[in-house]
Amino acid sequence: MNIFNQISIWLSFQLSIIYLIGIPVTLFFWSVKKRNKAVKKLLTIYWKISLSFFISLLLLIGKYNYALVITNIATVLMTISIWFWKDINDELKEYDFSYSLTTTTKVWRWSLTFITLNLLIHSFLNFSCFSFINSASCEIWLQPSSNFYNIIKSLFNFFFGANFTQPIAKFLGLFSLLIYTLGLIQWSIIKLPKNGRNSCFSENGRN
């Protein structure tokens, strides 16, 4: 893997953290302050789906061979979740450019879409890492999870007085992935046929 590719992947992950976590947090509290139900509902759904991204980070920490596959699936699901809901899309269209909350939300949605595509492209350029993340050429993909590892390690030691190791991260990641997948299947079978692309954000009235 050449140095240009390494730098590009590193920058992609840094931007991803901003757009996957930083901006959504800001938008969520902003929507609560403005009492905008559409944006609040959009971000609430987004955070539920984004659990898959944190699961993928655990798998990357645990050096699970297919962790990069899970990471890409997670980012794709997160991107789909912010475009999927017809009632929210219709609501956002009603606001003009001067309403900063919805304008920022729209810009963020497009930015997240491009970042997801960028990560997919980089991943396919390093296709062998999909099935063997532990190879030397794939080490760059493991580095972004190191900071997350240090945070969890400190918290785990503080609360439980024990070391948080890579095997533990792998076990927790796989167990969480199983629970998450079962929940997603349940939603697909029960709620999706019932509500379709309606998020039901306006059930209690619109602001």
Q: What is the pLDDT of residues 136-178, one digit of tens each?
A: 878 777 776 666 667 777 766 766 666 778 888 899 999 999 9
Neighbours of 147 (CB within 10 A): 11
Residue 140's identity, in one-letter code, is: I
pTM of this structure: 0.85
- Residue 166 is predicted with a pLDDT of 84
| Helix, strand, coil % in the chain, rounded to nearest 5 | 80, 0, 20
Whole-angstrom Cα distance, residue 138 to residue 134?
Answer: 6
Residues in the chain: 207
Quick one: tokens of 36? 């905008």
Dihedral sign from CA coordinates of 164, 169, 175, 181: positive
- Residue 28 is predicted with a pLDDT of 94
Quick one: tokens of 5? 């590719």
Dihedral sign from CA coordinates of 91, 94, 98, 104: positive
50-94 confidence digits (pLDDT tens): 999 889 988 988 889 999 999 999 999 999 999 999 999 999 999
86-118 confidence digits (pLDDT tens): 999 999 999 988 899 999 999 999 999 998 898
Whole-angstrom Cα distance, residue 3 to residue 198?
Answer: 46
- More confidently predicted of 32 and 203: 32
Quick one: tokens of 159? 């609360």
26-52 confidence digits (pLDDT tens): 999 999 999 999 999 999 999 999 999
As to burial, measured by CB atoms within 10 angstroms (0-12 exposed, 13-18 middle, 19+ buried), residue 178 is exposed
Q: How far does Cα 148 stand from its chain's mean position? A: 14
Torsions phi, psi of 171, nearest 5? -65, -50
SS3 label, residue 133: coil
- Residue 205 is predicted with a pLDDT of 45
